[in-house]
Amino acid sequence: MQLLSAAEYTPLGPVLTGHEFPLLVQKNQVVYVAKIATMADQPVLTQLADHPTPLMPKLEAVLADNDCLVTVETLINGQTLAAALQVNGAFSPVQVNRVARDLLQSLQHLEALGIVHRDLKLSNIMISRDRYYLIDVSAARKQQVNQSSDTRLLGTTGFAAPENYGFAQTDGRSDIYSLGIVLNCLLTGQIPDSRQAVTNQLTTAPQWLPVIEKATAIDPQQRYQTAIDMRQALPVQLTVKPKRHLPTVTLPTWPWLHTTWLKAYPYVKRALWITYAIFWLLIIATTLFGTDNWRDQLAFLLESIALVGTPVLAHLLNRWLYQQFPQVNWHRYRGWLRAGEVVLIIVLLASTGDIASWWGGKL
């Protein structure tokens, strides 16, 4: 926490209830994810921070102090492949093709850096805005050419290549093996818990079977040797045609305006809240001294709450939902939330007379 505070990151709350980390943090009105790492991971993390990988969270900062290491990365707001598979079942071949091409783009960049992810699995792939992001580099390592096996044995049963368990050293082909398992899971809707399960659950899709078999070969020499090799072997007829876009107009940018707004934002926000509080004082004063009739006072106060208070309460509720459940893509439900807000206001306005009459009768 001290490292984050010193770097001017404000804690917002844990991503998972009951766990201190991963932690949502904020800086300059932008939300990030802070994670704990070991000092042994620092060289890999520093390299990833210096060379951002496509379709992976960008490491904004690597904070170190004695034996403590904290990373800060961009927040990928979406749903994991594991959750999508559980809810929707097996993916179509076209969807699987999209997943493969996005992940191979990330693996190709990691290969160029000499980094092995080592924990490519359904729960470490995030869907956001129809793209597929590889997350969680906690098991990543630099490939060591002169070593016969890894010093730390990491990976997830059913997804990890045989060499992850000490039979040989992991390299880019180990990630290709895991990707083959992931694609097979998406095609079949079945998640393996062992190597034998993988063999018994191979897809029957004729265009994908040879791709999956080669990617998940036990001998690394029998697999695709690079991400480019596997990308070229994907079924060509399943390639998704690019969407046609209308011509875009490039608008001028004024960096000074953005900087000025960031500096002025806290003061503007405070002024707006003060204005809002003064407005409520005027409403209360009008309620108390505008009329002597209790029912009219109650009706006016309830109408003010519906029109002035409900939108603010709904906004605060939306912010709470974003912070407490960042894995949910709330942008998809924004229209429904706004519609619910409008319905609530209409119901409150329609009921103010009855509520005032009932309450006035009680008084």
309-320 burial code (b ≥16 CB/10 A, e <16): bbeeebeeebee
Q: Do domains 2-74 and 79-238 have the same CATH topology?
A: no
Please state, in angstroms and rounded to a whole number, the distance separating the CA atoms of residues 100 and 88: 18
Residue 257's pLDDT band (cuts 50, 70, 90): low
What residue ranges do the domains of the chain occupy? 2-74, 79-238, 255-362
Q: Looking at residue 177, what is its pLDDT?
A: 95
Is-contact 77 128, C-beta < 8 A?
Answer: yes
Please state, in angstroms and rounded to a whole number, the distance separating the CA atoms of residues 2 and 175: 35
* Residue 64 three-state SS: strand
Order of strands, sheet of 10-14, starting from the edge strand that comes earlier in the sequence: 10-14, 23-27, 30-37, 68-74, 59-65
Dig out the tokens for 151 from the structure: 């010093």
The angle subtended at Cα 314 by Cα 274 and Cα 263, nearest 5°, is 45
Does the domain formed by 79-238 have CATH 1.10.510.10?
yes
Q: Looking at residue 131, what is its pLDDT?
A: 94
Hey, how many other C-beta atoms are within 10 angstroms of the C-beta on 37? Answer: 19
- State percent of the chain over pLDDT 70: 79
Q: What does the pLDDT look like over 79-123, one tens digit per residue?
A: 999 999 999 999 999 999 999 999 999 999 999 999 999 999 999
> What is the pTM (predicted TM-score) of this model?
0.63
Residue 71's pLDDT band (cuts 50, 70, 90): very high
End-to-end CA distance of the chain, in Å? 53
Q: Looking at residue 282, what is its pLDDT?
A: 86
Q: What does the pLDDT look like over 118-150, one tens digit per residue?
A: 999 999 999 998 899 999 888 888 876 555 444
Q: What does the pLDDT look like over 163-220, one tens digit per residue?
A: 877 667 889 999 999 999 999 999 999 988 776 667 778 999 999 999 999 999 999 9
Residue 229 vs residue 297, higher pLDDT: 229
Q: What's the CATH architecture for 2-74?
A: 2-Layer Sandwich (3.30)
Least confident span in 144-158, 191-205, 257-271:
144-158
